Structure 1
Amino acid sequence: MSDEIEKIVVKFLTNGANEKELEKLADWLKTKDNVLSFDRFVKINYALDMNLNEFNSENVKIALMKKKRQDRSTIFKLKIRKIIRYAAAAIIIFGLGYFFRDNIFNAPNETAPVIVDTNKSIEPGSDNAILMLEDGSQIALGNGKSFQNQNANSNGEQIVYKKEGGKTKEVKYNYLTIPRGGQFNLVLSDGTEVWLNSESQFKYPVSFIDGEIREVELVYGEAYFDVSPSSEHNGTKFKVHNSFQDIEVYGTEFNVKAYKDEFNVYTTLVEGKVDVEVGDTKQSLVPNEQSNLNIKTMSIDVAVVDVEDVVSWKNGIFSFKGKPLKDIMKVISRWYDIDVIFENKQLETITFKGVLGKDQNIEEILMTIKTLSVLKEYEIVDKTVILK
C-alpha cells in the first residue's frame, strides 16, 4: 500500500475523504490484492489499536468516539457505496470497531464491561445446503463437496442446473434447504440466479416447461433473485410463490424475506418491476421500494428503503440501520446457529446503525458491542449467548 493510498484510507475512516479521494480508493479496491492489503492495514492499525486503547491517528480516535456519524453529501454516499461494493470482503472489518450508536443507544454508559466466555470460539456460517432430488434422495452440499448428476453440478459453493434444451413435458421438482449457519447460491435451468440465506427452503423445477409460466416457491426464509427476463424465454412469465403472497416478475432483481418465526413478509425491489399479489390485492413496486405484508392482518404497506442495507447479506455483510438489538441478534443467531437470551430485557430495544462482517466469529461481534459500553457482561454457554 502506497503512502498516498494509506492517507486516503485513514481519511475515509474518519469521514474526511473528498470526492476525488473516494473515487481513487474505489478504483484501487477493484483488485483482490488491494482488498487484502486494505483488510490487513485496518485490522492492524485501526481495530487492534482500538482494543489496546492506543491510536496511531488522533483522527481515528476521534472517529471512534463520535456518538453519531456526521451526514455526508449525496455524492459522498454514492462513492462510499461504490467502495463497499468493490471491497465487501475488506470493509467488513468495520465490525471490529466502526459500529455506531443511534442517540447514544438511549442507554446508560457503563464503564469497564466484564465479559464471561465459557466456550470455544463460535465460528461464522459457511456454504452449506441439503439438496432433495425428485426421487426423495438427499445430498449434502457445501465447501469441499462436489456433486454432479444428469441435471446439475455443484462445486460446493453453488449448484448450477443445465440450460433448457428440448421440450420438458413433466415438471420435476428439487428442494434446496439451507440450515442455520448456512448459505448457498443456485442457478436455475433458465439462467435465473438465486442466493439463499440461512434457515431457508426453496422449491424449483429441474427444468421449466417451454411456453408455460416459470414458477418457483420460497417455502420459507430469505432469497435474492436475479431473474432471467421473459424476452429470453418466448415471453413466459416468472412467478415466486410463498404461503402468503405471490410475486409476478418482469426480468428483475429483488429480495424476499419470509421467515417462519416472523409475522411480516418483505419484498424489496432492486431493479426492474414486480407485482406483489395478496389475495385480490396487487401492489406494484419500483426500484428502492419495499412491500411489508403483515400476515396477521394480511395488510400490505409500501415504503422507500435503502436497498443496499437490505441485500448486503448476500455480499458477506450485515448492514444494520436503526435496527433494535433484538432483531439484530435474530439475524446473527441464524448465521452462527446459536440461541440468544436477553437477561437484560432493556437491551432488546436499543437501536444500532453499523456494519458487521459475516466472516467474524461471534466473540468479535460481541466485543464490538462491548466496546461501545452497551453490554456490561455476556456469557457463552455451549451455543447459547446470554446478554446481560
Structure 2
Amino acid sequence: MAKKIEKLIIKYLTNSATVTDLDVLSKWIEDPSNKKVFKDFVQTQYVINYSMNDPEAKVVVENLLKTIRKEKSLVFQLKRQPIYKYVVAASVILFLTITFFWKKTNKLEPNEPTIVNVNIIEPGTDKATLTLEDGSQVVLEKGAFFKTQNANSNGEEIIYEANTQKTKSAYNFLTIPRGGQFYVKLSDGTQVWLNSDSQLKYPTYFIEGELRQVELVYGEAYFDVSPSSEHNGAKFKVVNRSQEVEVLGTEFNIKAYKDEVNIYTTLVEGKVSIGYNNKKQYLNPSQQSNLNIEENQISVASVNVYNEISWKEGVFSFRKKSLEDIMKVLSRWYDIDVSFENPELKKAGFNGVLGKDQSIEDILEIIKSFGVIKEYELKNRKVVVK
C-alpha cells in the first residue's frame, strides 16, 4: 500500500484528516481491490491479537468502511462549510477498538473512575521563546508577528533567509516550553520540528561551504536536512550532550530529554554517523541508536519509524510502551505533572494511536477503559494514576 494512503488512513483514525484527505481516501477505497488492502492494514496494524480472533473485529472494520462512505456522501454538501472538518469526529469511536494494552501486573478489577475536573487542560500548541544574541527574548505564539534582518515569524513558525555574508554569524536559541511545539526553517533550507520541552541553538545564517552545525541543547527534534550538494559540500552536524550526529543530507529524529539517561536517534532516510566517546556508529534507514550516557554504551535496533516520529504529524503512536514512558510524553504535551499511587502501574503497557488534539481527559478515559488503570484523579494540572 502506498505510503500516502497509509498516512491518510492514520490521519482519519486520529481525527486529523482534512476535506482533501477524505476526498482522496474515499475515491481510493471505491476500488474493490483496495477495500481488502484497507481491511488488512487496519487489522494487522491496529487491532490486537485477541481482537483478531474475536468475530467483532470484522464488524469493526465493516463499520469503519460504512462510516467513510457516509462521510463521503456529505463531502459535496459540506466541503465548502467550515463545520465540515468536524465530520471526521465520528472516528473517535474507533479508538476504543484499535487501542489495546498488555500488563505485567495482575489483572485489575473493573471500578468506577474517580475524576476531579477542576479546570480544563488544553492540548499543546505552537509556541516558543526566541533568545537573540544580545540576550533579549521574544515570545512567539499565534498572532504575534516578529521580524529581524533575515528572519520572519507569524507566531506559529520562524523562517530564516539565506545570507551571503562571510563574517561570523550570531546564534539564536529557540526554546519550546512544556505544552508547546514549533517549526523553524534555517537559513540553509534545513527544516526542524521541535517537540515540547526542547531547546535548539543555531546560527542565524551559515557561511557557504563551511560546516553547518546546530545544537539540540535538550528535548526532541526532527530534522529534514538540506543536502550538502546544495552547499558546496558542507556537511551538517547536530551536537548535543554526549553525542554528535553528522549527515550529508537526510531526515532523522533525535530524542534527548534532560530527565532521561538515554538518547535516541532514529534515521528516516539517508545515512548518519553518530560520534560518542571517541567512537562512531553508523545508522541505516529505519534504524535507531540508543546511547546510555551513564554507561557510555550504544545499541542499534530496527524500529517502526512512524511510531518514533508521529508526534510531528499530530499523532501519539504508542507501541509496547510502558505507562511510565507514555505519561512522560503526555506530561510534556499537556504541561501536567503525573504521579502513580501504585508504583507497579509504571510497568503496565498500552498500545494505541491517539490524536494530539484530544483532551487529556479523553486520553485517560481510553487508557482506563481497557483496564490499564482503575482510576485517575485530575486536579490543578496534576494527575494521580491509580
Q: Shared fold (TM-score greater than 0.5)?
A: yes
Does the CA-based 8 Å contact 1:325-1:351 persist in structure 2?
yes
Give distance in 1, aligned partners of 2:20 and 2:231: 40
Does the CA-based 8 Å contact 1:146-1:156 persist in structure 2?
yes
Offset at residue 121 of structure 1 (A): 1.9
Q: Percent identity?
A: 53
5 Å matches for 1:259-298?
Answer: 259-298=257-296
Quote the residue 1:351 is aligned against. 349
Query: Which amino acid is 2:272 matched to?
Result: V
Does the CA-based 8 Å contact 1:93-1:357 persist in structure 2?
no
5 Å matches for 1:120-131?
Answer: 120-131=119-130
Secondary structure, aligned partner of 2:249: coil
Quote the residue 2:138 is aligned against. 139
2:297 matches 1:311: no
Select which of 159, 178, 181 maps to 2:179: 181
Offset at residue 118 of structure 1 (A): 3.6
Secondary structure, aligned partner of 2:281: strand
Does the CA-based 8 Å contact 2:171-2:201 persist in structure 1?
yes
Query: Which amino acid is 1:316 matched to?
Result: G
Does the CA-based 8 Å contact 2:187-2:204 persist in structure 1?
yes
Quote the residue 1:97 is aligned against. 96
Secondary structure, aligned partner of 2:110: coil
Gaps of 5+ in 2: 25-41, 58-67, 69-84
Between Structure 1 and Structure 2, how many residues are aligned? 329
Give distance in 2, aligned partners of 1:186 and 1:93: 32
Residue-by-residue CA offset, 1:281-320 (whole Å, 9 max, x unaligned): 1001000000100001111111000000000000000101
Query: Which amino acid is 2:150 matched to?
Result: N
Quote the residue 1:151 is aligned against. 150
1:160–1:325: structure 2 CA closer, same or farther, 3 Å change rule? same
Give distance in 1, aligned partners of 2:259 and 2:383: 19
Select which of 352, 372, 375 maps to 2:373: 375
1:28–1:335: structure 2 CA closer, same or farther, 3 Å change rule? closer
Offset at residue 346 of structure 1 (A): 2.1
Secondary structure, aligned partner of 1:219: strand
CA RMSD of superposed structures (Å): 3.2
Give distance in 1, aligned partners of 2:11 and 2:124: 29
Does the CA-based 8 Å contact 2:254-2:265 persist in structure 1?
yes
Select which of 197, 201, 204 maps to 2:202: 204
Give me the TM-score of the superposition, normalised by structure 2.
0.78
Give distance in 1, aligned partners of 2:181 and 2:120: 20
Does the CA-based 8 Å contact 1:153-1:161 persist in structure 2?
yes
Offset at residue 90 of structure 1 (A): 5.9
Give me the TM-score of the superposition, normalised by structure 1.
0.78
Query: Which amino acid is 1:121 matched to?
Result: I
Query: Which amino acid is 2:335 matched to?
Result: D
Does the CA-based 8 Å contact 1:69-1:100 persist in structure 2?
no
Offset at residue 144 of structure 1 (A): 1.8
Offset at residue 116 of structure 1 (A): 1.8
Select which of 18, 21, 34 maps to 1:32: 18
